[in-house]
Amino acid sequence: MALILAFESSTKLGSVAVIQDGKCLAYKESDIQKSHSENLHQFAVDLISDLNLKFQDFDYFASGIGPGSFTGIRVSVNAVKSFAYAFSKPVIGIDSLLSLAFQNSTHQLPTLCLINAYKNMAYYGIYQHQGLEIETLKAPSVILMKEIESQLTGPLLTVGDGFLAYQNFLPERILKKMQRPSNIFDFPTAKSVGLLAEKSIKNNLTLDWKSLNPLYIRSSEAEETSQGIVWSPLDFKE
């Protein structure tokens, strides 16, 4: 069975996982965002050493591609591209919002995934679980949080650090439509990246290292500033 080394670092939670035949053989994570570039490579070395493997033993390398932190995304994407180039192996890129939805697939409500985009914005996508499959109801995009109510046509399971960042500012009428049971996950992980990568492999959706690109929905901070895109207040209308 295919052996996959997966990375995810689009949010403050950075992680590495070894996946094979639908199982996570090993996993390490850190929630110190500024250390992703140091930790993830060491995590990979530690995991393969613990499993008595070598980098060249992996059949595929997989990465979360965002949306999320520009710097964080580059850490995992560049790591995967480097390994894939060095060992002539294919790669798989996994949307981090889809990864977040996959981690909460035990719930049947449509799932609103929110990743903090800062400046009172969030990256978001809406997904519906259909058995073992996930249907994308709303493709990844970015939204001002003061406009999030427009997406709440009914009760939605709501997950992600985008919710955590803005929950204290959301009016009660909005919070009532955001279902938050206790057993949910708010950060995408390398485990889900690797397990979703297996699905991509079965569907022949793999790439060469040159074709793996980050999913950047917004421009960089400097580009937005030059374009006059600035912080917008959370002025929810009644």
Q: pLDDT tens, 54-103?
A: 999 999 999 999 999 999 999 999 999 999 999 999 999 999 999 999 99
Report the predicted TM-score, pTM, of the whole model to 2 decimal places. 0.92
Order of strands across the sheet that contains 14-20: 23-30, 14-20, 3-8, 60-64, 91-94
Burial status of residue 160 (CB atoms within 10 A of its CB: 0-12, 13-18, 19 or more): buried
Higher-pLDDT residue of 116 and 237 is 116
Packing angle between helix 36-50 and helix 70-87, nearest 10 degrees? 40
CB atoms within 10 A of CB 49: 11
What is the spatial distance between Cα 126 and Cα 113, in angstroms, rounded to a whole number? 6
- Catalogue all structural domains in the chain, each as residue range(s) with its CATH number: 3-96+187-218 (3.30.420.40), 98-179 (3.30.420.40)
Over pLDDT 90: what percentage of the chain? Answer: 82
Q: pLDDT tens, 211-226?
A: 999 999 876 555 555 5
